[in-house]
Amino acid sequence: LCTRPETRRPPRLPATPAAPPPPGCLRRVGGARGGGAGRERRGAGPSPRQPFWRRPAGRPASPAELSPPPPVASCLAPPRLDPGPNFPCLGSWRGAEPGPAGGVAGWPRAPGQPAISPPAATVPGRPAESSPGNASSSADELADATATPACGEKRLPQALIIGVKKGGTRALLEALRAHPDVRAVGTEPHFFDRNYGHGLDWYRELMPRTLEGQLTMEKTPSYFVTGEAAGRIHAMAKDTKLIVVVRDPVTRAISDYTQTLSKKPEIPTFEVLAFKNRTLGLIDASWSALRIGLYALHLESWLQYFPLAQMHFVSGERLILDPAGELAKVQAFLGLRRVVTEKYFHFNQTKGFPCLKKPEESGAPRCLGKSKGRTHPVIDQDVIQRLRKFYKPFNVMFYQMTGQDFQWEEQQAGM
């Protein structure tokens, strides 16, 4: 007779009592003996799901027993996102301080949103995503506009710089783009005046990608003088914040004419274009260079759709003399932390304009293009005085509507 040698099992170690699971979470009890799964309990109390060997013979399995077990991922702590030095888009968030509801201070994030969204997959060596721009923009501006991060999503703008031409809109936009919580299109989309027929999806694709808590912006100065723009922007988002950079209408008109003259040297003189009849002193307010300066008339159409509290007016003159002071007001209006301060500006004595320089950068200050600071042609003083007299009642009306005194008359008296 053959005898089977006795097989000894190793002694079992006493089980360590586990902490009770949270309510609604699954806890596996027992092992996988006989090739089957162990029992599952939901907190305290029996589970309706039983392994097949514990069912009475002859009874078919119930739907609860055949259904897959509930997921247990909800009982696990969410993974902590720990971005490393190569985390996409982190450069634009370095130094950002958390604000209320996990957002960037001053620009609250929607409740329940993570502080940093998971980054989209990036391909090494792939060029930065391109944003369509205005064909009239320079190569440098277009390259700057398309340097968008590879993560986040494209959103419709929450704030717009709507005017005015030759008021200082480019200088303001470039200063705001130095803020880590602002992402802006470098070129002028002209959506609400020229390209509205393309639709909002087309417009959204022009925008740079942003993370939660970042502000999307664009600037097109012609919106302020376009009759349909106010209603169209209101239809997109009635809580859009609007910024208008204004300047003494007379000097603005001369600057506007100077820009046109640089492109079309054959145009008539400023004095000829400004009057319907110079002998009678009839000013041609239909000429675009003069019509833009009728700020009070243009503002009336905007106030039909937006309250004054959603509009902020920047003095183009003070933006040159005290850029940090004007930027402080704009950042407060947009609900942004005051990041762009005096340290960001360097005054260019040659051109008479402030240049932008980030404190952490070691290179030369970044000044606006060669087109800024052109020498204005000499205009007949009699024409200038007539234009000042023409604009004065409109300026006073504009001061009353906005509650701000831009002191253009005092500045003219000192010239």
Instruction: Establish whether 199 is an annotated binding residue.
Output: no
Six-digit token string for 318:
């003070």
258 CB-near residues (< 8 Å, 6+ apart) = 374, 375, 376, 377
Instruction: Establish whether 170 is an annotated binding residue.
Output: yes
Instruction: Establish whether 376 is an annotated binding residue.
Output: yes
Find how far residue 415's CA is from the centre of its chain: 39
Instruction: Establish whether 106 is an annotated binding residue.
Output: no
Angle at 220 between CA 331 and CA 408, to 5 degrees: 70
Instruction: Establish whether 374 is an annotated binding residue.
Output: yes
Of 246, 285, 245, 295, the closest CA to residue 400 belongs to: 295
Q: Give dist(CA 314, CA 330) in Å, integer.
A: 8
Instruction: Establish whether 373 is an annotated binding residue.
Output: yes
Torsion angles phi and psi, residue 11, rounded to 5 = -65, 145
Q: Give dist(CA 346, CA 187) in Å, integer.
A: 24
Find how far residue 219's CA is from the centre of its chain: 11
What are the contacts of 309-314 at 24+ separation with CB within 8 A? 310/239, 310/240, 310/241, 310/242, 311/241, 311/242, 311/243, 311/244, 312/241, 312/242, 312/243, 312/244, 313/243, 313/244, 313/245, 313/246, 313/402, 313/404, 314/168, 314/172, 314/243, 314/244, 314/245, 314/246
Instruction: Establish whether 210 is an annotated binding residue.
Output: no
Q: At 242, is the secondary structure helix, strand, or coil?
A: strand
Q: Residue type for 212, please?
A: E
Q: Give dist(CA 231, CA 306) in Å, integer.
A: 9
Q: Give dist(CA 85, CA 147) in Å, integer.
A: 19
Instruction: Establish whether 227 is an annotated binding residue.
Output: no
Residues designated as active site: 166
Three-state DSSP string of 87-131:
CCCHHHHCCCCECHHHCECCECCCCCCCCCCCCCCCCCCCCCCCC
What are the contacts of 371-378 at 24+ separation with CB within 8 A? 371/259, 371/262, 372/170, 372/171, 374/255, 374/258, 374/259, 374/262, 375/258, 376/254, 376/255, 376/258, 377/254, 377/257, 377/258, 377/261, 377/270
Instruction: Establish whether 91 is an annotated binding residue.
Output: no
DSSP-derived letter for residue 366 is B
Instruction: Establish whether 389 is an annotated binding residue.
Output: no
Instruction: Establish whether 102 is an annotated binding residue.
Output: no
Instruction: Establish whether 209 is an annotated binding residue.
Output: no
Q: Which positions make up the binding site for 3'-phosphoadenylyl sulfate?
A: 166-170, 247, 255, 372-376
Q: Which residues sit in the known binding site?
A: 166-170, 247, 255, 372-376
